[in-house]
Amino acid sequence: MGKRELFARSLDAHLSGPLRAVVVELGSGSRPFYRPDHTYICVDSRRSDSPNLLIASAENLPLRSSIADVVVGFQVLCSVRDVASTITEIRRVTKPGGVYLGVEHVRNPNPLLRVVQRFRTHFRGTRGRCRLGLDVPTLLLEAGFDVHVQRFPRAFSPYVQFTADPCERAHEPT
């Protein structure tokens, strides 16, 4: 089973309740995880056929605060220009009690393979592709999320699937 299928199962588990959830999917592209039983807002920096598409940057979401029950991001943080601003925006739009579900490439634990990651990132990154090697769990913890991680080791670019709950501190004002 691939990353998308595992992630789709996790999303379905979070949306299995009887209430209609508001889902904000960042970087929806042409293959969103759209679930018609819920209010879905797809956000991408490029035009696509995604339903309810909002063309915007993840670093500056044109959404009101505390709108989303679930924020979805599949390999988004590795491709935005400003990771910290994106995480701040995710936290802002997530309702208290809401959740951020994601899959991201992460830093390789092997120092030699981290060099390979940096090399690949340099050449892939210059064409608008993702940056390999972010320490996403730590970045989310530092931003005030409680993070639950499932790791998937791969040779050059391991990845994590995570659930990040905003901690109980107050959300940023609108």
Q: Is residue 34 part of a domain?
A: yes
Please, what is the average pLDDT of the chain?
84
Which pTM value belongs to this model?
A: 0.84
Cα–Cα distance between 14 and 11 in angstroms, integer?
5
Q: What pLDDT was estimated at residue 156? A: 65
- Cβ 38 vs Cβ 22: under 8 Å: yes
Rounded to an integer, what distance in angstroms lies between the CA atom of residue 147 and that of residue 163? Answer: 6
133 has a pLDDT exceeding 80? no
Residue 99 pLDDT > 70, yes or no?
yes
CATH number of the domain within which 122 lies: 3.40.50.150
Structural domain includes residue 100: yes
Confidence of residue 63 (pLDDT cuts 50, 70, 90): very high
Q: What percent of the chain has pLDDT over 70?
A: 89
Instruction: Look at residue 174 and tell me if it is in a domain.
Output: no
Q: Give residue 99's identity as a one-letter amino acid code.
A: V
With respect to residue 172, please indicate whether it lies within any of the assigned structural domains: no
37 within a domain of the structure (yes/no): yes
Q: Total domain count for the chain?
A: 1
Confirm whether 138 is domain-assigned: yes
pLDDT at 174 exceeding the cut of 80: no
**In a domain? residue 12:** yes
Whether the predicted pLDDT of 158 surpasses 90: no
Determine contact, residues 50/44, Cβ cutoff 8 Å.
yes
- The answer to whether residue 171 is domain-embedded is no
The domain containing residue 140 runs over which residues?
Answer: 3-166
